[in-house]
Amino acid sequence: MTKEMKNEDVMSLMNDVHNVFFLKYRNLTPEDMSDGKWDEIVNDVGALTEKYKEFTHRTYKDGQMQEVLTAVPMIMWFLEILERRLNSSEKSNS
């Protein structure tokens, strides 16, 4: 059953995803990734997903409605930013 997000829930999710998760990893370098950081990131993503699993929203793909965990698209967006930065950093160091 989907739980309706209250203002406090939205604020908490945004804080956890940006102010805790993203700010923790935003300055990673390719060298950092060799020190087990990826496992740490995966664990943090799992913890965030678990914490906010009761909140979902509807999305449509190929004309089909799907229920999606609300936190996942936000987390994935920040992961993509981190990945692009790491890839860009690797290219500039080559």
Contact 79, 45 (CB under 8 A): yes
Domain limits for position 18? 7-93
- Using the predicted structure, report yes or no on whether residue 84 has a pLDDT greater than 80: yes
Residue 7's CB is within 10 A of a number of other CB atoms, namely: 7
Contact between 5 and 70 (Cβ < 8 Å) = yes
Q: Quick check: helix, strand or coil at residue 85?
A: helix
Q: Residue 1 falls within a domain, yes or no?
A: no
Over residues 41-67, the pLDDT tens digits come to 999 999 999 999 999 988 898 999 999
Give how many domains the chain has, as a whole number.
Answer: 1
Predicted TM-score (pTM) of this structure? 0.81
State mean pLDDT over 3-30.
Answer: 94
Task: Tell whether 2 is covered by a domain.
Answer: no
